[in-house]
Structure 1
């Protein structure tokens, strides 16, 4: 990899990590266009590093909210009600499936062709969630119940298939669980941090032997780019949710899949 490829991949990761369009899918497709070998150990390690840059964007923007999760004092009706148990309940399904079937997922689902399929199927789920979800009950992130948190976590399992999108699957699950678009999106941001840190941590441990100081400039460029673009993308996405439905993002996914179908296949 070179610096230019690193920056391009960082921009793609930062833009797509928190949008319901699948960052992993975009990274796989972009790497294919750039001629990068995704089986190469250096490229695999870079993908972990650049994802951590996007994670740090959430940590910086929501640090007060993260601290409040560890406040277990009795709360009044005017204080935040979201706590650490909500996050844990949402993490359990994908965490278990991810640990048990990690190697199978990596072997069979990480490829351009499988990404194209999941882009379409994930888009169909998002349209179904928009059209058939029951009336919304939880308008803010502090209105989310434990049952709703676990339901969103069940839908997050779908995001283990690259191309499905974590935010797309969890926001769809949120709508079916009667959670508003914005609340589901913000909850997804919070849940993504421990999930991504855990997954990235495992990958980093396995990649330690492939790290070298000569790769530092490339890795640093991707990390910083993903961090900065990720912060801008989160703010922009929350604003877009007030004007656009998930159907708009689903249409984008269909168009992207069609374009890459003719480029790759």
Structure 2
């Protein structure tokens, strides 16, 4: 199979899974294993396609991010999402990720860890569905600082490969009392800064492995991930209130079984 076809397939996988509660890391490892795409070049390629997903979120929510620069709204009595919400939603995981970055990359990126995380994340999502108020209402502008911090603390789980950043944050949002759409939208909003930090650090470390001959492959993966991630993010926000997390939890368990069969055994 040509590298360009591999790039297209993995770009689609990244775009489909980055913002869904199913673990993009688990999918990329599984599909990469099936395609025989391993090594440092594969690791660098994953960083590049994650940049494509990040760009999708920036394009979709640029007005919201721009509004966060209006610091005059901080502390006002009217409810409105502000930069403090984002900081509270990002800071815990950023600290954990920065402190444990090398340990995570060297010790936790193993198939067995991914399988355990897939199942543990599925259990968390099922519990979150059970605990969250059935008639919770409101928009992302009505999130409290306490709810934002709760979501931020749950995002710390996402430093474990296979746990899923989206799954952790949306589950945290439901447990904190937000509805599905609000939890998902806030999950998207805190995705960009946390991914900039994590992916940016990986990108710097990958610079020595970038070669001009890889530009076509990396470009295909980047563009594909960008387009697919945009479509998935828009569709997910429209559907999450109707489908909930249980369906994704069941899918994660099936994925863990496939991962065990095709990667571990």
TM-score category of the 2 structures, normalised to the smaller one = over 0.9
Q: Is the 8 A contact 1:46 1:219 kept in 2?
A: yes
Correspondences of 1:109-120 after superposition (within 5 Å) = 109-120=108-119
* CA separation of 1:74 and 1:17: change in aligned 2, threshold 3 A: closer
Q: Which residue of 1 aligns with 2:232?
A: 233
Q: Is the 8 A contact 1:50 1:226 kept in 2?
A: yes
* CA separation of 1:31 and 1:23: change in aligned 2, threshold 3 A: same
Give secondary structure in 1 for the equivalent of 2:148: helix
* CA separation of 1:74 and 1:121: change in aligned 2, threshold 3 A: closer
Q: Which residue of 2 aligns with 1:206?
A: 205
Give secondary structure in 2 for the equivalent of 1:242: helix
Q: Which residue of 2 aligns with 1:9?
A: 10
Q: Which residue of 2 aligns with 1:258?
A: 257
Determine the C-alpha separation between the residues in 2 that align with 1:217 and 1:45: 14
Give secondary structure in 2 for the equivalent of 1:230: helix
Q: Does 1:188 align with 2:202?
A: no
* CA separation of 1:205 and 1:74: change in aligned 2, threshold 3 A: closer
Name the count of aligned residue pairs. Answer: 263
Determine the C-alpha separation between the residues in 2 that align with 1:263 and 1:109: 19
- When the two structures are superposed, what TM-score results if normalisation uses the length of structure 2? 0.94
Determine the C-alpha separation between the residues in 2 that align with 1:78 and 1:10: 44
Q: Is the 8 A contact 1:23 1:165 kept in 2?
A: yes
* CA separation of 1:76 and 1:125: change in aligned 2, threshold 3 A: closer
Gaps of 5+ in 1: none
Q: Is the 8 A contact 1:136 1:175 kept in 2?
A: no
Determine the C-alpha separation between the residues in 2 that align with 1:24 and 1:7: 17
Give secondary structure in 2 for the equivalent of 1:81: coil
Shift of 1:113: 2.2
Q: Is the 8 A contact 2:21 2:167 kept in 1?
A: yes
Shift of 1:144: 0.6
Question: What per-residue deviation string (whole Å, max 9, x for no partner) do you get for residues 48-105 of structure 1?
Answer: 1100100111111111111011112348999871011111111111111101111111
Question: What per-residue deviation string (whole Å, max 9, x for no partner) do you get for residues 97-131 of structure 1?
Answer: 10111111111221222111111110000000001
* CA separation of 1:80 and 1:216: change in aligned 2, threshold 3 A: farther
7-16 vs 101-110, greater mean Cα deviation: 101-110
Shift of 1:263: 2.2
Shift of 1:132: 1.9
Q: Which residue of 2 aligns with 1:20?
A: 21
Determine the C-alpha separation between the residues in 2 that align with 1:29 and 1:193: 24
Give secondary structure in 1 for the equivalent of 2:178: coil
Gaps of 5+ in 2: none
Q: Is the 8 A contact 1:136 1:178 kept in 2?
A: no
Determine the C-alpha separation between the residues in 2 that align with 1:100 and 1:64: 32
226-235 vs 125-134, greater mean Cα deviation: 125-134
Q: Is the 8 A contact 2:73 2:82 kept in 1?
A: no
Determine the C-alpha separation between the residues in 1 that align with 2:254 and 2:199: 30
Determine the C-alpha separation between the residues in 2 that align with 1:118 and 1:257: 9
Q: Which residue of 2 aligns with 1:142?
A: 141
Q: Which residue of 2 aligns with 1:155?
A: 154
